[in-house]
Every structure is written in structure tokens, then in C-alpha cells.
């Protein structure tokens, strides 16, 4: 149990276009999901906390108008990178909070590798 999927697993897009990444909790409901970005040989950096039915909470330095987050249901959160630029190329990982286990554990999606040319 506690499976989180992401789609797409990798994407290449041209500079200036927008890319949407989906994060789904497949066998549990997640009122809270998290979006991270990881550059090569660096740690995961929390970008934002996605709350079902309300606005996302963004970390300092993350532009909310550039990284649009929508958490419309208990099993789906989406991250849209708008007007992507080469510096947005990174590994984007989501995680979902599984409160049902009683231990409030996070489960990660497999990640989406974005390359902007």
C-alpha cells in the first residue's frame, strides 16, 4: 500500500512553454502533498505544501505565479511550471502524507525529470 505516482516520469520542453506534472496517491487519501525540486548532487528542496481544497503554501524564494499548484481532490495534486526556462530543468518529486497509518509518514512519487531546451 501507500503508492504515489507521478506523470510524466520525464519531459523535454522548449523554453517558454508550460509543463504540468501530476501527483496521485493511488491507494490512500492525502489531504496534504508536498512538492520538491532536486538539482544534481543536491538535497531535495521543499517548494510548496499543497492542501486539498485550499491554496498552496510556498517556501521562501519560490514564485507562486511560476509554479502553479492545484490540489483539487484528495488523491491528486498538480504542479504547472509556467513559461519554463532552462534553469527550471530539474528533478521534481512529490510526496503525500499518509495520515491513515497513524505515523503520519510521507510517501514519495517516482519523480519527474524536466529538461527545458
Q: How far does the chain reach from its first CA to its final CA, in angstroms?
A: 37
- Find out whether 62 and 47 touch, Cβ atoms under 8 Å: yes
Q: Which of 93, 96, 114, 116 binds other proteins (CB under 8 A)?
A: 93
d(CA 110, CA 107): 10
Q: At its nearest, how many Å lie between other proteins and the CB of residue 57?
A: 11
Q: Which of 5, 38, 3 is nearest to 114 (CA)?
A: 38
β-bridge partners, 114: 11, 90
Q: At its nearest, how many Å lie between other proteins and the CB of residue 83?
A: 26
Chain residues 10-39 in contact with other proteins, contact rule CB under 8 A: 34, 36
Q: Which of 35, 109, 114, 116 binds other proteins (CB under 8 A)?
A: 109
Residues in touch with other proteins (CB under 8 A): 34, 36, 41-46, 91, 93, 103-111, 113
Amino acid at each position: 500500500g501507500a503508492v504515489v505516482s507521478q506523470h510524466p516520469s520525464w519531459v523535454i520542453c522548449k523554453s517558454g512553454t508550460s509543463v504540468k506534472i501530476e501527483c496521485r496517491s493511488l491507494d490512500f487519501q492525502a489531504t496534504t502533498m508536498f512538492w520538491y525540486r532536486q538539482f544534481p548532487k543536491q538535497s531535495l528542496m521543499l517548494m510548496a505544501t499543497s492542501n486539498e481544497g485550499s491554496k498552496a503554501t510556498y517556501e521562501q524564494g519560490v514564485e507562486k505565479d511560476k509554479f502553479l499548484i492545484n490540489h483539487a481532490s484528495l488523491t491528486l495534486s498538480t504542479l504547472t511550471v509556467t513559461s519554463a526556462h532552462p534553469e527550471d530543468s530539474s528533478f521534481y518529486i512529490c510526496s503525500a502524507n499518509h495520515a491513515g497509518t497513524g505515523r503520519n509518514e510521507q510517501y514519495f512519487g517516482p519523480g519527474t525529470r524536466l529538461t527545458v531546451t
